[in-house]
Amino acid sequence: MKGLTLLPSATEIVCWLGKQDTLLGISHECDYPETLAGLPRLTASRLGSARTSSAIHQSITALLESTMGVYKLDVEQFVELKPDFVVTQDLCSVCAVSLQQVEEACRTVTGKDVQIISLRPKKWDDIWNDIKRVAKLLGAEEKCTALLNDVSSRVEVIKQRVKNASVPPKTVLTIEWFAPVMISGLWVPEMIDFAGGVPLFATSGEKSRTVSFEQLSTVNPDVVIVKPCGYKTEQTLSEFETLKTLAPWGQWNAGRNDEVYLVDGNSYFNRPGPRLIDSLEILSACIHPGLFPEFETRYPVLKTGRDTPSLL
């Protein structure tokens, strides 16, 4: 059985299950693992040269209003590859090609009943249940069980260490986009809870929400995690001056105490795949400095005031 994965998390899932040899092609955004770099790319972005968060947001809004969609699917190459399966998504209209595009492409593949697995996770458990579905399709259920047991063990380590330390809960704000400011929803609030934090402006299972400067002025987060969707840490740093104007950092505990962390939002947190357990470990180290020293040395995280200019 050979197939396509049309978003980064799907590609990571298949590889995590040890089934990378089944892949015929991937999306233009799939960048991990790097060993797949030579595979055909079946998708492309219509965003053009937009680079800043504000310009990207404006371009996406215009594309959605035009009903064109943000991404193109190479149907000709899709048909030539004749996949047995496709792993895609129908959770987010700006994250990958639409399910409708994939279904239409599958109908053009003659002589095959292409199996589609569409990922639509909203909560923490949904992600791992989606992985089970992919594992069943690819005959990797035994390996999947072992991997998920390891994930459960890592989650339990975090919960128990926070509990045993008797540390007071901290309020946590997770910024997913700059202009406009968007606060992470879906599975992220649960992750904050696992790590001993209290999420602000976020409800488990609900999509990310846009907030104003005035709304941000009504809260006082102890910790802020900045992880723009699709941004590497370097790109986040390139918009650092914009970041300073987005929120009332001076009135927040997080700003005064330099508890603001810049994280690779492209690799972690925003991809509903295997590396979310790594994201949870990053989050735990940010919320409780010193409690998880092994995580602090394992993952690349920038802290304002130490690794970057202060926001104040």
Q: What domains are defined for the chain? A: 3-140 (3.40.50.1980), 168-303 (3.40.50.1980)
> What pLDDT, in 10s, does the model give residues 237-274?
988 888 888 899 999 999 999 999 999 999 999 999 99
With 0-12 CB in 10 A as exposed, 13-18 as middle and 19+ as buried, what is 110?
A: exposed
Nearest of 263, 311, 307, 305 to residue 285 by alpha carbon = 263
pLDDT at position 58: 74
pLDDT number for residue 49: 60
pLDDT at 68 > cutoff 70:
no
Q: So what's the pLDDT on residue 64?
A: 64
Residue type at position 92: C
Which helix (H) or strand (E) is 79 found in, with range? helix 75-81
Residue 48 has what pLDDT? 66
pLDDT of residue 176: 96
pLDDT classification of 124: cutoffs 50, 70, 90: very high
Average pLDDT over residues 2-9: 97
What is the per-residue pLDDT across 129-170, written as a single tens digit (0 to 9) for each?
Answer: 999 999 999 999 999 999 999 999 999 999 999 999 999 999
Separation in Å, CA 114 to CA 4, 105, 270, 295: 10, 10, 28, 41
Task: Check whether 309 has a pLDDT greater than 90.
Answer: no
